[in-house]
Amino acid sequence: MPHDTDHSPFPPERIEIEQRSDGAIVVRVKSEGPERARLPDAVFSFRCGDPQYAYWLRRLGERPAAS
């Protein structure tokens, strides 16, 4: 079920997006479920030229600034 207009299957609170100093974008999808049965978080990285780079760069720009 989509949680916003980008049709992401993950709730925004489960996604962390950051841009490293070399320009790569790192996306972490936090795992959910019971603590003892929880899988590790999924971590993806995208560099300029990757098909999904522009999408995640846009998502990074849409996120509220950290206080």
Question: d(Cα 25, Cα 35) in Å, to the nearest integer?
Answer: 28
Contacts of 31 (CB under 8 A, 6+ apart): 38, 39, 40, 41, 42
DSSP H or E run through 53:
helix 53-62
- Residues 24-67: tens digit of each pLDDT: 999 999 998 888 888 999 999 999 999 999 999 999 998 766 54
Retrieve residue 26's tokens.
């790192």
Residue 46 CB neighbours (<10 A): 20
Model's pTM, two decimal places?
0.76
